[in-house]
Amino acid sequence: MAEFTFFTNPQSRAWIVWWALNEVSADYKPELVEWSNKPRALLDANPLGKVPTIVHHCAGSDHVVTEAAAICHYLAETHPDAGLLPLAKERADYFRLMFYVAGPVEQALIADAMGWKSEDPSRHAMLGFGNYTLAMDTLETLLARFDYVCCQVPKCGHGSSHLEVSFNALNLLLYLWSESSWDLPGQIGILGKIGSGLLTGLGFA
Ligand SMILES: N[C@@H](CCC(=O)N[C@@H](CS)C(=O)NCC(=O)O)C(=O)O
């Protein structure tokens, strides 16, 4: 049996995890999920029925992880030799951007795509992303400190203007970017170990 079961569908955020699984050279078995006929094993593992979902078969137990960003971090932690965890000096940016993109940025993009708006500015205070414009402007401000968003932090050198955004956040950014009309700030370049081949294949380059 493979070490990981990976519930996936090619038209989904599961791409994020597919990339991460390959980055860490994980031993995994993909289980293709048809939206109209979800396997019992997926629903048992994740009652929400969402992909990506992974099951880590480890030391005689099954460990389920859901949520793309959490899975990426879990894979980085469980495969330290892959060198994907941030250095101590990168940790603040790593966690901040990973959670900022997975939470507020995703909510802002989805709300915008759905046309959900609050006309009452006093209600913005209870929205985790404030409002769409503010959330995306804030992301641009955070990213403006870097020349590159990079998916292989330790292997790309640590120039002060380089990277320091985690590959987890990068994967989410790429996905969200592909799904929205938002443009990555012009000065940001994309680096990656799998690199231009994958990016071209996915239509990003
Ligand atoms: N918060 C989850 C979202 C996962 C999600 O919404 N997956 C969608 C595809 S992108 C899904 O499984 N949709 C199928 C369904 O809900 O039936 C994550 O970040 O991984």
Distance (angstroms) between ligand 1 centre and the Cα of 67 equals 8
- Between the CA of 39 and the centroid of ligand 1 the distance, in Å, is 15
Residue type at position 164: E
Looking at ligand 1, which atom is closest to the CA of residue 66?
20
In this prediction the pTM is 0.81
Mutate to test the pocket of ligand 1, among 37, 46, 50, 109 (most ligand atoms within 8 A of CB): 50
Is residue 11 domain-shared with residue 92, that is, in the same domain? no
* pLDDT in the model for residue 193: 33
pLDDT tens digits along 59-86:
999 999 999 888 988 998 898 887 777 7
- Structurally, how many domains does the chain consist of? 2
Are 96 and 119 members of one domain? yes
* Domain range enclosing 37: 4-82
Same domain, residue pair 93 and 194: yes
Does residue 169 or residue 14 have the better pLDDT?
A: 14
Q: Which of 82, 101, 127 is the last residue of a domain?
A: 82
pLDDT at 176 (0 to 100): 54
- Give distance in angstroms: CA of 52 to centre of ligand 1: 7
| pLDDT tens by residue, 151-204 | 433 333 333 333 333 444 555 555 555 555 555 554 444 443 333 334 444 444
- Residues 104, 178: one domain? yes
The residue nearest atom 1 of ligand 1, judged by CA position, is: 67
Helix (H) or strand (E) holding 40: helix 40-45
At 100, list the tokens: 């900022």
Which ligand 1 atom sits closest to the C-alpha of 102?
19
Q: Are residues 194 and 93 in the same domain?
A: yes
Residue ending a domain, choose from 59, 82, 105: 82
More confident residue, 152 or 4: 4
**pLDDT reported for residue 15:** 79
User: In this predicted structure, what is the pLDDT of residue 68?
Assistant: 86
